[in-house]
Amino acid sequence: MNAPIPLLNDPDWTRVSALPIRENHEDLVPASLAPANLACYPAYYKLGIPNAVPECYMRRGVYQRLLAASRSLPKGLTLLVMDSWRPYSVQQYLYDTLYNAIENHWPDKPAAELEQLTREFVSLPSTNPRAPSPHLTGGSVDVTLIDEHGLMLDMGSQFDEATPWSHTAAFEQLASPTPHEQQVIANRRLLYRAMIDAGFTNLPSEWWHYDFGNQLWAWYRGQPQACYGPTHPESLESRWRQEIDRRHQ
């Protein structure tokens, strides 16, 4: 748990999006029904972001690995899921909001540079079945650690804070960290090691973002293909339609 977090390069999104997807059709499951050693707090819904869902849905394989990661933690600590499957409209809202904030701060920057700065913290919205936004696959999760009182551990920056301090290995680069910074380093290492050992990969620009099964995971694991493409929770209407179609075949 004390090994330093490696400094990884940002993803080459063009090559990430070119990786093939062989969908395995795993269903989405809700994190809120998990045992006590996995907590759920749908942050975007709580913040009132338009079209955010009041649940953290994820692929079954992701759910099982999150349970394993949480169970590996020291006594008194629990893994908290803050976001997972994300509707396209929410992805678009997050992207536009950050893009506009960056553009307002640097109005003279060209569009390509604004996009690059935005994509450091928010992926390009996409429903393309060959190159979906990572969260649209149900394979991405945003997580942190909470103590026995339900309070989040200090990770050195806020969830979704768009600053260099949110980079996973940012505090590892400090030559002489203060006692507070040493605690941040320990907390991030604890989260990182638990998630990596459970089979996830991390997005280097976000200490909270981990992937399994999607193209971003395949890129960092050196896998030839992903197994999660775009998906969505099953609605009652779609279930009824399928049942009626089967009944009248």
Q: pLDDT tens for residues 47-95?
A: 999 999 999 999 999 999 999 999 999 999 999 999 999 999 999 999 9
Q: Tell me, yes or no, whether 99 lies in a domain.
A: yes
Residue 172 CB contacts under 8 Å (≥ 6 apart), including other chains: 4, 5, 7, 185
The pLDDT score that the predictor gives to residue 67 is 97
Q: What does the pLDDT look like over 150-171, one tens digit per residue? A: 999 999 999 999 999 999 999 9
Q: Tell me, yes or no, whether 7 lies in a domain.
A: no
Helix axes 88-105, 111-119, angle to 10 degrees: 120
Q: Is 232 annotated as a binding residue?
A: no
Higher pLDDT, 26 or 108: 26
Q: Tell me, yes or no, whether 227 lies in a domain.
A: yes
The pLDDT score that the predictor gives to residue 239 is 67
CATH for 150: 3.30.1380.10
Q: Tell me, yes or no, whether 83 lies in a domain.
A: yes
Residue 206 annotated to the active site: yes
Q: Is 142 annotated as a binding residue?
A: yes
What six digits make up the tokens of 37?
């050693």
Q: Stretch 2-17: mean pLDDT, rounded?
A: 95
Whole-prediction pTM: 0.92
Running DSSP on this structure, what letter comes out for residue 11? P
Q: Containing domain of residue 186, as a range?
A: 13-247
The pLDDT score that the predictor gives to residue 236 is 67
Q: Tell me, yes or no, whether 130 lies in a domain.
A: yes
Q: Is 180 annotated as a binding residue?
A: no
The mean predicted confidence, pLDDT, of the chain is 94
Q: Tell me, yes or no, whether 187 lies in a domain.
A: yes
Q: How many domains does the chain have?
A: 1
Q: What does the pLDDT look like over 191-241, one tens digit per residue? A: 999 999 999 999 999 999 999 999 999 999 999 999 999 999 987 666 677
Instruction: Out of 113, 115, 206, 243, pick the active-site residue.
Output: 206
Q: Tell me, yes or no, whether 1 lies in a domain.
A: no
